[in-house]
Amino acid sequence: MKILIIEDEKLLADSVKRLLERKGFDVDCVYDGKTGEEYAELGIYDLLILDVMMPEMDGYSVARKVREKHCNTPILMLTAKSELEDRITGLNAGADYYLTKPFDTGELLACVNALLRRQGGQVDEMIFGNTGLDLSTGILSCNDRTIRLSEKEFDMMRFLLQSGEKNLSKETLLIKIWGYESNATENNVEVYIGFLRKKLAAIGSNIRIESIRRLGYHLEVNEEC
């Protein structure tokens, strides 16, 4: 995750940079508004941290300009001004959050995480080996190859991924997927295991569905040598 800090007080900027880097973010700093705007508009950042009071070009103007260019990277405004009017101005200029100096580092991190959660958090996916299952669309993918699963295939794949290397009996799968009242047989499970194996192979996945006689199924990752 790339973060850009636009802040004229070098000391503060650098200390925030270090704080965020320690948490694993990739952070750049610039020390004036004009340069900040140019960097921001590259569109490569996942978050802008923006000071309001800066010489030449203040934070509000940077935010406005950036938004005018249809760049909608989240903006965290960081400022000594705590007046109500300023907060409203900041939010209306396109900021997403307004934090008042002096701020607590824990709070800053919580804000940063909250803002970034929006960016990357919208797709949820279960991953095992080199293969992922998109939980919203039921699409199974491996590198750039993808394949769609039907509802039952999807349910079954989900349970297998959930259990990973832990074993699942046919009985369990039968009940979990077809329900108690169903009159599906264990053969239905076998057929669907077959479907999944075919689809996994089709996208070149390195995960296998292993079967153990009388005990059921579980996943394994193919080790290549």
Partner DNA sequence: TTTTTTAAGTTTCAATTAAGGTTGGTAAAG
Partner DNA sequence: CTTTACCAACCTTAATTGAAACTTAAAAAA
Which residues in this chain contact its own copies in the complex, by CB under 8 A? Answer: 70, 72, 74, 84, 87-88, 91-92, 94-97, 104, 106-107, 110-111, 113-115, 117-118, 121-124, 135-138, 148, 150-151, 154, 165-167, 210, 212-215, 218
Sheet holding 97-100, edge to edge: 26-30, 2-6, 47-51, 75-79, 97-100
Pick between residue 143 and residue 150 the one whose CB is nearest to DNA.
150
208 near DNA, judged by CB under 7 A: no
74 binds, among DNA, its own copies, none (CB under 5 to 8 A by kind): its own copies
Cα distances from 3 to residues 30, 54, 163, in angstroms, run 11, 19, 36
Scan for tokens 């999944």, then name that residue.
196
187 near DNA, judged by CB under 7 A: yes
Q: From CA 110, how far away is CA 190, in angstroms rounded?
A: 47
Q: From CA 122, how far away is CA 130, in angstroms rounded?
A: 21
CB of 179 to DNA, least distance (A): 9
Distance of CA 135 to the CA centre of its chain: 13
CB of 166 to DNA, least distance (A): 16
Scan for tokens 């996945």, then name that residue.
205
191 binds, among DNA, its own copies, none (CB under 5 to 8 A by kind): DNA
Residues near DNA (CB under 7 A): 148, 150-153, 170, 178, 182-188, 190-194, 197, 211-216
